[in-house]
A and B are shown apart, each in its own frame.
Chain A
Amino acid sequence: MINRLPLEGTRVLDLSWIIAGPTSTRCLAIMGADVIKLGSARRPDPSTGSPPFQVYNQSKSYAALNISRPEGLEMAMSLVALSDIVVENFAAGVVERLGLGYEAIREVNPNVIMISSSGTGHSGPDKDYVAYGSLLQHYTGWNTVSGYPGQEPIKGGLWADPWVGMELTMVAVAALNHRVVTGEGQYIDFSMAEALSASIPEAILHYQMNGAVKEPMGNDDDWNSPHGMYHCKGSDSWVAIAVTTNQEWKALCCAIGKPELASKPGFDNAEVRRDHRDEIDAAISQWTSQHDDYDAAEILQNAGIPAGPSLDVSRVYNDPHLRSSGYLYQVKTNDGEIRDLPSLPWRFEGQSGPRIAAAPDLAQDNDRIYRELLGLSESEIAQLVEDQIIY
Chain B
Amino acid sequence: MGADVIKIEPPEGDESRHMGPFPSDGPHPEKSGLFLALNINKKGVTLDLTTEEGASAFRKLAKTADIVVDNLPLGHLNNLGFGYDTLRENTPGIIVTSITPFGNRGVNMNWKATDLTLFHMSSNASGLLGPVEDPDTEPPIRAGGHQSEFVAGMAATTASLIALFQKRMTGNGSHVDVSEYEAMVNQTIAGLANSAYGRPAPTRSLKEVRETYISGMAGAIGGVLPTNDGYVAISPREDAQWERWLGVMGNPEWATDERFVTRKGRQTHTEALWELLSQWSRQHSKHDIARRGQDKRIPCFAVNTISDLLANEHLAVREFFQEIDHPVAGRLKYPGPPYRFSNTPFPLDARPAPLLGEHNQEILEGLDS
Which chain A residues border B194 with CB–CB below 8 Å? Answer: 51-52, 313
Asked whether, in the complex, the Cβ of B161 is within 8 Å of the Cβ of A202, the reply is: no
Interface residues of chain B, those whose CB is within 8 Å of chain A, are 1, 18-25, 31, 33-34, 36-38, 84, 102-103, 105-130, 135-136, 139-147, 150-152, 154-159, 161-166, 168-170, 172, 174-179, 181-183, 185-197, 199-202, 204-205, 217, 221-224, 226, 231, 233-235, 294, 297-310, 313-315, 317-318, 320, 332-344
Asked whether, in the complex, the Cβ of B111 is within 8 Å of the Cβ of A301, the reply is: yes
Q: 6 tightest A-B contacts by CB? A: A325-B106, A205-B33, A155-B130, A145-B144, A194-B338, A313-B191
CA distance A131 to B169 in the complex (A): 38
Please give me the residue from chain B that is nearest to A312 by CB atom.
Answer: B201
Asked whether, in the complex, the Cβ of B313 is within 8 Å of the Cβ of A163, the reply is: no
Asked whether, in the complex, the Cβ of A321 is within 8 Å of the Cβ of B338, the reply is: no
Please give me the residue from chain A that is nearest to B24 by CB atom.
Answer: A210
In this assembly, does A326 line the interface, its C-beta being within 8 Å of a C-beta of chain B? Answer: yes
CA distance A297 to B120 in the complex (A): 12
CA distance A176 to B199 in the complex (A): 38
Query: With A324-B107, A327-B185 known to touch, is A210 a contact of B124 (CB < 8 Å)?
Result: no
In this assembly, does A379 line the interface, its C-beta being within 8 Å of a C-beta of chain B? Answer: no
CA distance A242 to B113 in the complex (A): 8
Which chain B residues border A214 with CB–CB below 8 Å? Answer: 21, 306
Binary per-residue interface labels of chain A (38-82) against chain B in the complex, 1 for a CB within 8 Å, 0 otherwise: 000000000000111111100000000000000000000000000
Which chain B residues border A54 with CB–CB below 8 Å? Answer: 193, 196-197
21 CB contacts below 8 A, A to B, read: A7-B162, A9-B169, A121-B338, A143-B303, A154-B128, A157-B124, A162-B186, A186-B343, A198-B337, A199-B145, A202-B21, A205-B334, A208-B310, A210-B25, A213-B305, A223-B20, A241-B117, A301-B110, A308-B113, A327-B185, A345-B183
In the assembled complex, how far is the CB of residue A290 from the closest CB belonging to chain B, in whole angstroms? 16
Asked whether, in the complex, the Cβ of A345 is within 8 Å of the Cβ of B182, the reply is: yes
Query: With A209-B21, A314-B200, A316-B188 known to touch, is A132 a contact of B235 (CB < 8 Å)?
Result: yes
Asked whether, in the complex, the Cβ of B124 is within 8 Å of the Cβ of A320, the reply is: no
Which chain A residues border B221 with CB–CB below 8 Å? Answer: 132, 134
In this assembly, does A150 line the interface, its C-beta being within 8 Å of a C-beta of chain B? Answer: no
Asked whether, in the complex, the Cβ of B231 is within 8 Å of the Cβ of A153, the reply is: yes
CA distance A346 to B162 in the complex (A): 11
Asked whether, in the complex, the Cβ of A242 is within 8 Å of the Cβ of B117, the reply is: yes
Asked whether, in the complex, the Cβ of A316 is within 8 Å of the Cβ of B151, the reply is: no
Which chain B residues border A315 with CB–CB below 8 Å? Answer: 123, 201
Which chain B residues border A348 with CB–CB below 8 Å? Answer: 159, 163, 174-176
